[in-house]
A = this chain, B = another copy of it.
Amino acid sequence: MHGISINESFSVRPIGYIESDYPDKFGIPRQPGLATAAKATLVLAPPFNTPLSVRGLEAFSHLWISFIFHRSPEEWAPLVRPPRLGGNKKIGVFASRSTHRPNRLGLSLIELVSINTDNGVRLLLKGADLMTGTPVVDIKPYLPWTEALPDARSGFAPTSPPFYPVAFSSAAEIALGQRPDANELRQLITQVLGQDPRPAYHHGQPEREYGMQLRDVNIRFQVQQRPEGNVVYVINIQKMINN
């Protein structure tokens, strides 16, 4: 077909890697921009890490980052269960933003804060939904005059997901108070846990405890059903040993 074999494959190699507040994939918000307190750095790798390759990029506020879901399985299935549909309805993998997809290509629109070219190239990002170690395969500037379409129809995901209030136990408050990044970490925990990171098929199991990693801590939490609605309750915050 058009001189191209249907079986031809293409090799892509990382142009850089992510260093972020998310050491593990569990609990990462399902889209970028939902947890704006999340910081990340895209560290360009040789031979891409010359300041020339990002010249002019600072004039753009947002970037498209193409990356590989390197921790997702290589197997794929034509149907997936998106969490937005409660995990009990199946849609096509290409109608979803599932991480379990052919080619494992991810795409995130992420705010660019600044560029550091003191030693190689590091892009400081805000609100990224990317796990530490994620291999990045391309960066493109965002073009609002062609890519901002507020009136586009968006099927089963027409608005932002719900956001729950987050409460901290005394033990969690004490643990937070002992850290120099207390305020920032509190904001990050609130934004990330407020998204309700439980797997959709657990929603019928209130009071179940979960652990989630952020920065260098492990956070124990549960989702409590209260008369005023769901509240995410932070049971404890513990420093990870092997970090």
Contacts and interface: CB of A to CB of B under 8 A. Distances in A.
Interface of A: 1-4, 6-15, 17, 31-34, 45-46, 48, 50-57, 59-62, 64, 66, 68, 70, 78-79, 90-97, 101-105, 107, 109, 132-133, 135, 137-160
A2 B25 CA distance: 13
A125 B60 CA distance: 29
A113 to B, nearest CB: 13
A198 B142 CA distance: 24
B138 A103 contact: yes
A110 to B, nearest CB: 11
Contacts of A135: 4, 8, 10
- Identical copies of this chain, number: 2
A154 to B, nearest CB: 5
B91 A55 contact: yes
Contacts of A57: 92, 94-95, 155
A137 B105 contact: yes
A236 to B, nearest CB: 26
Contact of A94 (B45, B97, B140): B140
A14 B63 CA distance: 25
Nearest 7 A/B pairs, CB to CB: A2-B133, A59-B155, A56-B91, A57-B95, A52-B78, A55-B92, A56-B95
A169 B61 CA distance: 45
25 contacts: A1-B133, A2-B132, A4-B70, A8-B135, A9-B11, A10-B104, A12-B103, A12-B105, A13-B103, A31-B143, A52-B78, A53-B78, A53-B93, A53-B94, A56-B96, A57-B95, A61-B152, A105-B137, A107-B138, A109-B146, A109-B149, A142-B149, A142-B154, A145-B160, A148-B149
